[in-house]
Amino acid sequence: MRKTTFIQAINEALREEMRRDERVFLIGEDIGYYGGLFRVTRNLLEEFGERRVIDTPISEQGFMGMAIGAAMVGLRPVVELMYMDFYLVCADQIFNQAAKMHYMTGGLLHVPMVIRGQQGGGKRYGSQHSSCVESTFAQFPGIKVVAPATPYDAKGLLISAIRDDNPVLFLEHKMLYFTRGDLPDEGVEYTVPIGKADVKREGKDLTIATFSYTLLQALEAAEELKAEHGIDVEVVDLRSVTPLDMETVYTSVAKTGRLLAVHESQANAGIGAEIVARIYEEAPYLLAAPARRLGMAPASIPVSKVLEEELLPWKNDIKATVLSMLK
């Protein structure tokens, strides 16, 4: 074991999978010679060459579509979107093409590819470079969505995503990039399964189900709630948004009787609403009090530090919501 950054974990997953499997290649803007705007793909061009690390023009529809075509004939592209907000520029290729291809061809074609990149607020990038996109993607069957919060999960889940036979959206929150965590030594192979949640903190009073950067915020909130109010929160890291591991959530709520779903994309019609709806449909008898969700207010992300902080559903909002649920 050793400590690495989130960025390093992703870089290692790419490198190891490219060494293991000739079919894996990378495509995106500034990823080769520059090594990626956030340095996630650094040194990969040097090892794998221009044939497998492809710098593109600013043509998201074009290279997303080409990656889909390459995947349809058996390669395993990993596409970097520089900012996740740009998925809207190539939304047809992602949703009408990649996500629907297997179904509308009656299973004759499939699209084994990964779309990865960074998202989220906290760095004052403003409305078009800070969105969290998981809730939108969750509306589309045919594509899986994963959003890890630790370097260990990031590496293990990215390897699983590359090996998956379906399109997988791999979300990296920009606030996570320089966080550090334990990682098995380089070359020690492990994977983290897609669609499997992980209890990151045990507790008995209330369950928070979350993922990505709000997981770290929830863990901090939990520590403070314990110290300040003696409240013991259990934190479930969903890790995948599609498919959702509701079983792990139910096991936790069976113990705590309370559920709060937290995410950074907006609350309205978001994945938290889905999680809450699911427990009311499938296991309402577990709840001792109404389940709730917490997400962004219906606004775009502003640049000003104070305005951005006001809107992001981070630690203080999580604490306040938990307290109101336990009143």
3-state secondary structure labels for all residues of 212-252: CHHHHHHHHHHHHHHHHHCCCEEEEECCEEECCCHHHHHHH
Query: What DSSP line would sit under 162-177, residue for residue?
Result: HHSSS-EEEEEEGGGT
Segment interacting with another protein, rule: CB under 8 A, options 61-69, 118-126, 223-231, 285-293: 61-69
Residue 326 has φ and ψ, to the nearest 5°, of -100, 5
**106/230 with CB nearer another protein:** 106
| Catalytic status, residue 173 | no
101 binds another protein (CB under 8 A): yes
Q: Which of 37, 75, 269, 325 binds another protein (CB under 8 A)?
A: 75
Report whether 213 contacts 176 (CB < 8 A).
yes
Q: Which of 4, 41, 166, 207 binds another protein (CB under 8 A)?
A: 166
How distant is the alpha carbon of residue 87 from its chain centre? 14
Closest CB 113 distance from another protein, rounded Å: 10
Instruction: Give, as ranges, the residues between 183 and 222 that touch another protein (CB under 8 A).
Output: none
Residue with tokens 């004759």: 108
Q: Which of 102, 129, 173, 263 is catalytic?
A: 129
Residue with tokens 């593109």: 56
Report whether 146 contacts 240 (CB < 8 A).
yes
Q: Which of 102, 116, 174, 319 binds another protein (CB under 8 A)?
A: 102
Q: Which of 20, 128, 139, 141 binds another protein (CB under 8 A)?
A: 141
Q: Which of 10, 31, 64, 171 binds another protein (CB under 8 A)?
A: 64
CA-to-CA dists, residue 271 to 133, 202, 221, 240, 292, angstroms: 10, 23, 21, 11, 12
Closest CB 116 distance from another protein, rounded Å: 18
Segment interacting with another protein, rule: CB under 8 A, options 6-14, 97-105, 249-257, 296-304: 97-105
**141/193 with CB nearer another protein:** 141
Q: Which of 62, 184, 290, 298 binds another protein (CB under 8 A)?
A: 62
Nearest Cα to Cα of residue 149 among 219, 76, 224: 219
Q: Which of 45, 71, 94, 114 binds another protein (CB under 8 A)?
A: 71
| Catalytic status, residue 60 | yes
Instruction: Give, as ranges, the residues between 268 and 287 that touch another protein (CB under 8 A).
Output: none
Nearest Cα to Cα of residue 238 among 226, 229, 247: 247
Other beta carbons within 10 angstroms of residue 308's beta carbon come to: 18
56 binds another protein (CB under 8 A): yes
Nearest Cα to Cα of residue 78 among 189, 190, 167: 167
Active site residues: 60, 129
Binding-site ranges for another protein (CB under 8 A)? 25, 51-52, 56-57, 59, 61-75, 92-93, 96-97, 101-110, 112, 141-142, 144, 165-166
